[in-house]
Structure 1
Amino acid sequence: MRCTGNERVENSSVPEFYKIFSPYSYSVYTAVFAVAHALHNMYLHKGITREDVKGINAWEVSHFSYHKFDRRLHGENVHFDENGDISAGFDIISWIVYANESLDGIKVGSYDPQAISRELIINDSIVRWNPVFTKIPMSRCSEICAPGFRKSARQGALSCCYDCIPCPDGEIASEADMDSCTKCPEDQWHNAKRNMCVHKVVTYLSYGEPLGMSLAFISFLLFLLSGFILALFIKKKDTPIVKANNRDLSFILLLSLKMCFLCSLIFIGHPLRVTCILRQTVFGISFSVSVSSILAKTVTVVIAFKAVKPGSHLRKFLGNKFSNSVVLFCSLLQIVICVSWLGTSPPFPRYNMEDEVGKIVAECNEGSLLGFYIVLGYMGFLAFVSFLIAFLARNLPDVFNEAKYITFSMLVFCSVWISFIPAYLSSKGKYVVAVEIFAILASSSGLLLCIFIPKCYVILRKPETSTKSL
């Protein structure tokens, strides 16, 4: 609106001032007042006259406007800094343009750069919005990124335009609108909202979970089965089928298989130093005794057939003394390997933080992988020799010849442990232990079923055939 010449700016209240004058009037008034103030200072310091004003340079006027005004405009002081920039506060005005092109404004906030807090104060409750807005509009092109998300700049867009993307695994954003995520410590992981780090869950194969419970139950059943077969063989120890191929070796084999089934239980539960050491030693020695007994049984079959020939020197190897010596020698060699392994680099418990994302795996470190594979390799060597001899002796004409059953049992044993190695190397976390337990149970049950179940069938179902003389 046009000025009438009768308005008094100094006596106008702030709301009326904005209603009467354009948005630029206050700035024009301040600029004129600043120039007048500067000229007054020049007059006081240099004694300039009205005629000298035409020759004054702009930078000279700017120099004399640095000082604080003694005059207050609408209750505030006007300041200029050393660069000549005004440092007065600002009012935040909400403007309304009506249909008749009239203008209305209301002060909704302010900013004072000279205040201690230097806060931008806005009272959004008095801001008047056009009825077409169903919600408060935003003056930004992106929503605020919630905690757990970080800002990602949009290619070719302004810096205030960005996308919100979730923090990567192992990192968090604890505050809103963060430019980057913070990595959690090694023993911690992000929560579901990715806005805070929490301690990782320690995991291991326990008796309380279905997998551990199932393996323990199967181990116990096989232990009972081998105990039942042992009791049956002790009861029928004088029958020809039990005496065949050295009954003492059968008892040793059944006892060692019972230990194999029991040793699988040591693998379940939270690893401790003593259990980590017992796992591999009990497992290695028990299996070596089992395979050594089978090797001695196989050799006994061959010697028994060859010794029947006249003048054979193999008769001195018949009997328990030689077969027991084979078992003792092969088992002692495995004991020496285990003791050397434990003496140089024994297994120990540790927390593995790399294999499973967001979890800490409690496991037994084998210490020396070379020692572990030598133990497995030695068992594999004994199994291969037993398989080879049994395969060659499978068709020897003898009553209750076990060579065929031993051949098949060794075939199962070798197949299980050959497939164990790639499965062991490719597994992670508690499934490494589960694979090893499965290999122990599968190979042990293969020996038990292939060698003893046919004899048990004869003893229980066809007892008349087990009374034939040898």
Structure 2
Amino acid sequence: MYQHILALAFAVKQINEDTKFLPNITLGFHIINGYYIAKMTYKATLNLLCTQHRFVPNFICDSQKKIITVIGGLVTEVSAIMANTVGIYKIPQLTYGSFSPAHGDRTAFPFLYQMIPNEDYQYRGVVQLLHHFGWTWVGLLAVDDDFGDRFLQVIIPLLTQNNICYAFILRTPKRTYVDEYLNFLLRHLDDYPVLMDRKVNACFVNGEPPSWHNLRMLLFYAPLFSLPPVGKVWIATSQWDFESLSVQRLWDIQNFHGAISFTVHSNQPLGFQNFIDTVKPSWTNNDGFIQNFWEQAFNCSLKISSVKSKTLCTGEENLENLPHTLFERNMIGHSYNVCNAVYAVAHALHAIHTSSSRHRRLLEGERLKFQIIQPWLFHHFLRSVIFNNSAGDTVKFDENRELIAGFDVTNWVTFPNNSFVRVKVGRLEPQAPPGKELALNDDQIVWHRSFNQVLPLSVCNDNCYPGYSRKKKEGEKFCCYDCAPCPEGMISNQKDMDFCMKCPEDQYPNKDNNQCIPQILSYLSYKEPLGIILTVLTIFFSVTTVLILGTFRKYQDTPIVKANNRTLTYILLVSLMYCFLCPLFFIGHPGKVTCLIRQMAFGIVFSLSLSTVLAKTITVVLAFMATKPGSGMRKWVGKRLTNSLVLSGSFIQVGICMVWLITSPPFPDKDMNSLKEEIIVECNEGSASMFYCVLGYMGFLAIVSFTVAFFARKLPDSFNEAKFITFSMLIFCSVWLSFVPTYLSTKGKYMVAVEIFSILCSGAGLLCSIFFPKCYIIILRPDLNNKDHLIRR
């Protein structure tokens, strides 16, 4: 591109005009075109090393060119050819384009400097770009040569590691002579249909020339062979440029509207626009390129030509009128690199001059004779160069002799007159923290017109939305998959998840399996209706028991109260009152203390009640038997036997509870699995066997009481509570026998409610069966509460 030549001339001119920067030194340059062909590039490089006007490399036969460094080239192949040659002489080389050796070995070029960061950064940036837009099914385009092979060897594993697949690989012809090139290109038209894949809307192009020219020719010739046009998002590395060949000057570039590329960061040096305005065919006699450029750009001839279709150039044509594909007035990235390369050389020379002036004084005006500087010495100063250029950017090389800089993400907006605008839509900073290298402004991006300014999709199939996971298709790449709904109890909360996942322990999936919902804590609360009802019943029966106890205390000297052992009656009523209060330990949020107390308290007080009932029943039997003449049972009738029965029956249960507390005490627990939407806050009984031992012992006391009372039910009514006890024990046993299966078949707070209901029912059975008939007589039929009546009965 002619602008690179102008950038070189501009930088040299600026340096030479600054008399303070390199005093008494004038920089010069010599430009040779290699035509992007290997043997021409070798010849051009060797020509730089020859004596003036003679192609005799490595011999000093005449006045020799004073070469201190080489700048070039734009593409890897040219740079590598030059490096292989000038490196023999340890001449530093500054390449202003990307440098990616075909075999990946950079150590073979110890004197090569890159005015652009490592190309691998761009590859990683492209991967982040694809991830940013969700493009996982892309096309790859590379030139059919060693460097294209190297590109594919690097990019394909990188895409795979980042869950991106390539749908196709299109190899375009390498640069060669025109006749071979056109034949090769026409053969590649057979590959054109792969570009028609509608699922592939993003194509990554290796930017090494001649990729742009190849792709442009392919899209230009396609309609001539009745092939339909394509609308893609072309993504390219920094080598991509819209420079046109002379034959392409009038070709449409609308196919590339909305393309995205990583371009070399550039600014506009002061004075460059004014310098461009001075460029005319006659501006210098030493420019061997301007005549060719001027005639091709303006399609005219500077000399009288035999070709009648060409007009004569005036020499005053305006560069502003040229399409951007032929010439851009603003300094672009690679021209900016050429300019920085020249200044890097100048600063290295300045460093040599400063160092030498400090340590050496020469006789001839005390100045350094630059013609005797050895290239290896210049290399030593060049690699440590650091300066700020006139545009305000810092120029510095890293340890690998690569420029420390970033890339601009450029969106190419084209117009029908073959002009275009480079819109900066982001930035790639290789030095940024991992994952933060790429910054994009999506709102500024213009897409190809076929997408109607809607974000294009480039995926093998539609996304798997939350609630589904990806399922591999047999025989297909991993980017092509089916969508399977998440199994029961699992969710996916993002698109295209590889597998569904379980919710945290305290959460459960919603019905769409795309979100976890926190489980609510579930326990029998005082605030809910069931808890309120049970609390009211608990208080009611407790108060009722207290009232009955008060009634019996008031009428303690009446025959019906005295008839069946007042002490046992009081003990039974007090124990029943505590039985009715036990449910209060079961209602509310389970705590450590309540879990330890509630089953123990329930078991002990109920055992006390049942022991008292058993004592009352045996008292009735013994009293009847003692009334028979000559009976020896009279000695057993008395408080000693009843107290022993009550205490022994209760202490056995206390012993069972103590063993329970020592071996495996109850504790607060959370059951997160039994109910889907709730976390059951409960008391873990610690040892289920000990819990059933407590219930079993209560059942044993109840059965013994029932058996004794059953056989004593027909004794004379005057002394007999047996039939009431029999009925109460029948209720008690029925309640607790039905409790076990019901308790085991319920969960959470309803399990607690079943136990509370059983406590209340069994306690109410005892209270009502034994004491309500007596209360009836005491309160409503006091006439029956006399000794004569009881004896008569």
Which bin holds the TM-score, normalised by the shorter protein? 0.7 to 0.9
- 1:290 matched to 2:609? The reply is yes
For the 8 Å contact 2:463–2:496, the answer to whether it is kept is yes
Judging changes above 3 Å, is the alpha-carbon distance between structure 1 residues 127 and 276 closer, same or farther for their aligned structure 2 residues?
same
Corresponding residue for 2:258?
108
Shift of 1:154: 6.2
Corresponding residue for 2:530?
211
Residue of 280, 286, 291 corresponding to 2:599: 280
- 1:369 matched to 2:688? The reply is yes
**Equivalent residue letter for 1:242:** V
**Equivalent residue letter for 2:761:** A
Corresponding residue for 1:263?
582
Corresponding residue for 1:469?
790
Judging changes above 3 Å, is the alpha-carbon distance between structure 1 residues 139 and 41 closer, same or farther for their aligned structure 2 residues?
closer
Corresponding residue for 2:712?
393
Alpha-carbon separation, structure 2, partners of 1:356 and 1:84: 63
For the 8 Å contact 2:486–2:500, the answer to whether it is kept is no
Question: Any idea what SS the aligned residue of 1:163 has?
Answer: strand
- 1:38 matched to 2:157? The reply is no
Alpha-carbon separation, structure 1, partners of 2:456 and 2:207: 29
Shift of 1:102: 9.8
Provide, for residues 142-179 of structure 1, a one-character-per-residue CA deviation record: whole Å limited to 9, x for no partner.
5434445433456788753422634753x554533222
- 1:446 matched to 2:565? The reply is no
Alpha-carbon separation, structure 2, partners of 1:253 and 1:458: 19
Give the paired residue count.
417
Gaps of 5+ in 1: 1-8, 12-33, 48-63, 71-75
Shift of 1:288: 0.8
Shift of 1:423: 2.9
- 1:88 matched to 2:224? The reply is no
**Equivalent residue letter for 1:273:** K
Corresponding residue for 1:223?
542
Judging changes above 3 Å, is the alpha-carbon distance between structure 1 residues 202 and 308 closer, same or farther for their aligned structure 2 residues?
same
Shift of 1:120: 11
For the 8 Å contact 2:467–2:486, the answer to whether it is kept is yes
Shift of 1:361: 3.2
For the 8 Å contact 2:473–2:480, the answer to whether it is kept is no
Residue of 220, 241, 246 corresponding to 2:565: 246
Provide, for residues 61-87 of structure 1, a one-character-per-residue CA deviation record: whole Å limited to 9, x for no partner.
xxx9844599xxxxx989884534172
Corresponding residue for 1:160?
480
Shift of 1:191: 7.4
Judging changes above 3 Å, is the alpha-carbon distance between structure 1 residues 112 and 124 closer, same or farther for their aligned structure 2 residues?
closer
For the 8 Å contact 2:671–2:681, the answer to whether it is kept is yes
**Equivalent residue letter for 1:416:** V
Alpha-carbon separation, structure 2, partners of 1:370 and 1:118: 64
Judging changes above 3 Å, is the alpha-carbon distance between structure 1 residues 338 and 36 closer, same or farther for their aligned structure 2 residues?
closer
Provide, for residues 365-421 of structure 1, a one-character-per-residue CA deviation record: whole Å limited to 9, x for no partner.
223333322222211111110011111111223326222221121122112222222
Judging changes above 3 Å, is the alpha-carbon distance between structure 1 residues 295 and 147 closer, same or farther for their aligned structure 2 residues?
same
- 1:234 matched to 2:553? The reply is yes
Shift of 1:129: 4.6
Shift of 1:186: 4.0
Shift of 1:110: 2.6
**Equivalent residue letter for 2:38:** A
Corresponding residue for 1:23?
none
Alpha-carbon separation, structure 1, partners of 2:228 and 2:640: 121
Residue of 494, 499, 509 corresponding to 1:175: 494
Shift of 1:261: 0.6
Corresponding residue for 1:380?
699
Question: Any idea what SS the aligned residue of 2:790 has?
Answer: coil
**Equivalent residue letter for 1:469:** L
Alpha-carbon separation, structure 2, partners of 1:258 and 1:265: 12
Q: Scaled by the length of structure 1, what TM-score is found?
A: 0.73
Question: Any idea what SS the aligned residue of 1:363 has?
Answer: strand
Judging changes above 3 Å, is the alpha-carbon distance between structure 1 residues 365 and 120 closer, same or farther for their aligned structure 2 residues?
closer
Alpha-carbon separation, structure 1, partners of 2:773 and 2:669: 44
Alpha-carbon separation, structure 2, partners of 1:144 and 1:448: 69
- 1:430 matched to 2:549? The reply is no
**Equivalent residue letter for 2:612:** S
Provide, for residues 216-235 of structure 1, a one-character-per-residue CA deviation record: whole Å limited to 9, x for no partner.
11111111121222222223
For the 8 Å contact 1:35–1:65, the answer to whether it is kept is no
For the 8 Å contact 2:36–2:78, the answer to whether it is kept is no
Judging changes above 3 Å, is the alpha-carbon distance between structure 1 residues 206 and 41 closer, same or farther for their aligned structure 2 residues?
same
More displaced 10-residue stretch of structure 1: 352-361 or 233-242: 352-361
Alpha-carbon separation, structure 1, partners of 2:676 and 2:702: 39
For the 8 Å contact 2:41–2:78, the answer to whether it is kept is no
Alpha-carbon separation, structure 2, partners of 1:406 and 1:293: 11
State the identity as a percent: 45
Corresponding residue for 1:54?
none
RMSD over aligned Cα, in angstroms? Answer: 4.4
